[in-house]
Amino acid sequence: METIEIGLLGLGVVGSGAVRTLEENREAIERKVGARVRIKRIAVRDTKKPRMVDVDPALLTDDVGAVLDDPGIRIVCELIGGVHPAREYVLRAIENGKSVVSANKELIAKDGHEPMHRASEQGVDFMFEGSVGGGIPIIQAMKSALAGNRITEVKGIVNGTTNYILSRMTEEGAELADVLRDAQASGYAEADPTNDVEGYDAQYKIAILSSIAFTSRVDTTKVYTEGITRVTAHDIEHAREMGYVIKLLAIGKSAGEDAIQVRVHPALVREGQPLASTLGPFNAILLRGHAVGDVLFYGQGAGMMPTGSAVVGDIMDVCRNILHGSTGRIACTCFQNKRLLPIETVVTRYYIRMYVSDRPGSIAAIAGVFGRHNVSIASVRANAPGSVDAHDTAEAIWVTHNVLEADIRSALAELQTIPEVRSVENWLRVEE
Ligand code: HSE
């Protein structure tokens, strides 16, 4: 049996999961591939640091060149994350004729074009299943089993940290800051949670998914991104009373032949829907293809073993391609450059919570402003004055029919200026 040697860059959570998966299921993996799969070197910053897996210390090196420039290594797994120096390492590996497996969502979302094209020129593979949805095999599915479809929509919950936080806020009626503090203490959230909480992690992932789904480049700077910091326990409670839960959604939609909408924001989702039932750190991605219809992917979107599973799946695919002389078989599929529509062009329903003056005619005056801005109201609930401190103030919850986001924005801008509105407390999109 032939031996295929691989090199790792990084031995953190994902690298350790890949090593452990390879070790734990070695015999079956090698029989499925038809070759011995051996880790030859692992480049790490600090060779002395304690590791999550047992590896032969002789494999560890702090010289990336020992991986990138070793002619015996056919596959380089880039598992260090971030754009630099990962990008330079990936390009160097490809220039040296090696296939690359990466789980680096930021690099692929922001700058995946170049490594993919270099890989095509070199006739090697560049695979990145671990970059989105942890162990959920969504990328290979879109590139292979579902490749015949014209995909019109890909949306879901792709960030486990925020889903865990929102799930706990919903269960406990707690505020974000309290749940976040606790989640950090128990290791569910990073010490610096910005990337997750502000929606950037989900932005990278939906940019990758949309680029594959819609065969187009997606410029991450044009992806509308709103995190969960504006979601309060109070909004979650109002949503619940109306039969909704609040989720951080990542949404990509086709908008005609040459345009797409790609966005990340919290949204009200109807209870009982698959995305509403995705709890804790789990991810779920719903995809709509013209031939297949709706397909739902659900599973662990992060973590050592699920992401390690995705990386090992890619390694095995590359091994098979090497053995059959067919690396570079699946090239970059972004052969279009579709327009990313601005958020103002979205048409959806909205939930709006405001404090209003509790006097005759207030609701009518506010409804008049909505009407003048083409905002059609589906329901309004004005709570008893006792629900707020000031005796002449009531809380009003509005839910609209489908309206243009530009119209909601202009309506809200005017509403902030009329005396009947004390304050617009929050507004969120409703994803039906
Ligand atoms: N930070 C990510 C999440 C996991 O919370 O889902 C890594 O992609």
Per-residue pLDDT tens digits for 38-52:
999 999 999 999 999
- In this structure, which amino acid lies at residue 219? D
Note whether 172 and 282 are same-domain residues.
yes
- In this structure, which amino acid lies at residue 61? T
Q: What is the pLDDT of residue 384?
A: 58
Q: What is the pLDDT of residue 428?
A: 98
125/115 Cα distance (integer angstroms): 10
Of 323, 357, 378, the residue at which a domain comes to its end is 323
The answer to the question of residue 55 being in a domain is yes
For ligand 1, atom 8, name the residue with the nearest CA: 302
CATH number at residue 348: 3.30.70.260
Query: What's the CA angle centered on 163, arms 158 and 165, to 5 degrees?
Result: 145
The answer to the question of residue 328 being in a domain is no
Note whether 289 and 144 are same-domain residues.
yes
Average pLDDT over residues 146-156: 98
182/178 Cα distance (integer angstroms): 6
Note whether 125 and 215 are same-domain residues.
no
The answer to the question of residue 337 being in a domain is no
Q: What is the pLDDT of residue 392?
A: 87
The answer to the question of residue 425 being in a domain is yes
Average pLDDT over residues 158-186: 96
For ligand 1, atom 4, name the residue with the nearest CA: 302
Note whether 154 and 98 are same-domain residues.
no
Going by the DSSP 8-state scheme, the letter that residue 336 receives in this structure is B
pLDDT, averaged across the chain: 96
302/430 Cα distance (integer angstroms): 26
**Ligand 1: which atom is nearest the Cα of residue 161?**
5
Is the CB of residue 14 below 6 angstroms from any atom belonging to ligand 1?
no
95/55 Cα distance (integer angstroms): 28
- In this structure, which amino acid lies at residue 269? V
Note whether 125 and 144 are same-domain residues.
no
Note whether 156 and 14 are same-domain residues.
no
Q: Which of 227, 257, 263, 259 is nearest to 154 (CA)?
A: 263
CATH number at residue 239: 3.30.360.10
Convert the pLDDT of each residue in 207-225 to its tens digit: 999 999 999 999 999 999 9
Is the CB of residue 430 below 6 angstroms from any atom belonging to ligand 1?
no
Residue 159 Cα to ligand 1 middle (Å):
5
**Ligand 1: which atom is nearest the Cα of residue 189?**
5
Average pLDDT over residues 322-343: 95
Please report which confidence band the pLDDT of residue 432 belongs to, taking 50, 70 and 90 as the band edges: confident
Note whether 201 and 254 are same-domain residues.
yes
Average pLDDT over residues 152-168: 97
Number of domains observed in the structure of the chain: 3
Residue 187 has pLDDT above 90, yes or no: no
For ligand 1, atom 2, name the residue with the nearest CA: 159
For ligand 1, atom 7, name the residue with the nearest CA: 302
Note whether 147 and 118 are same-domain residues.
no
Strands of 226-326, DSSP E: 244-254, 259-270, 282-289, 293-300
Q: What is the pLDDT of residue 177?
A: 97
Average pLDDT over residues 350-366: 95
Residue 247 has pLDDT above 80, yes or no: yes
Domain extent at residue 225: 140-300
Residue 428 Cα to ligand 1 middle (Å):
23
Residue 385 has pLDDT above 70, yes or no: no
Note whether 41 and 173 are same-domain residues.
no
Is the CB of residue 106 below 6 angstroms from any atom belonging to ligand 1?
no
The whole-model pTM stands at: 0.97
Note whether 144 and 293 are same-domain residues.
yes
Q: What is the pLDDT of residue 389?
A: 59
Within 10 angstroms of residue 413's Cβ, the number of other Cβ atoms is 12
Is the CB of residue 220 below 6 angstroms from any atom belonging to ligand 1?
no
Is the CB of residue 405 below 6 angstroms from any atom belonging to ligand 1?
no
Convert the pLDDT of each residue in 294-317 to its tens digit: 999 999 999 999 999 999 999 999
Note whether 148 and 268 are same-domain residues.
yes
The answer to the question of residue 240 being in a domain is yes
Convert the pLDDT of each residue in 77-136 to its tens digit: 999 999 999 999 999 999 999 999 999 999 999 999 999 999 999 999 999 999 999 999
Average pLDDT over residues 30-43: 98
The answer to the question of residue 372 being in a domain is yes
Q: What is the pLDDT of residue 387?
A: 56
Residue 56 Cα to ligand 1 middle (Å):
29
Percent of all residues in the chain with a pLDDT value above 70, rounded to a whole number: 98
Going by the DSSP 8-state scheme, the letter that residue 313 receives in this structure is H
Instruction: Report cis status (omega within 30 of 0) of the bond before 385.
Output: no
- Among all residues, which ones are annotated catalytic? 205
CA distances for 245 relative to 82, 167, 348, angstroms: 33, 9, 16
Q: How many residues does the chain have?
A: 432
Residue 281 Cα to ligand 1 middle (Å):
9
Please report which confidence band the pLDDT of residue 169 belongs to, taking 50, 70 and 90 as the band edges: very high
Q: What is the pLDDT of residue 188?
A: 85
Q: What is the pLDDT of residue 133?
A: 97
Is the CB of residue 201 below 6 angstroms from any atom belonging to ligand 1?
yes
Q: Which of 123, 41, 36, 116 is nearest to 77 (CA)?
A: 41
Instruction: Please give the structure tokens belonging to residue 314.
Output: 């890619």
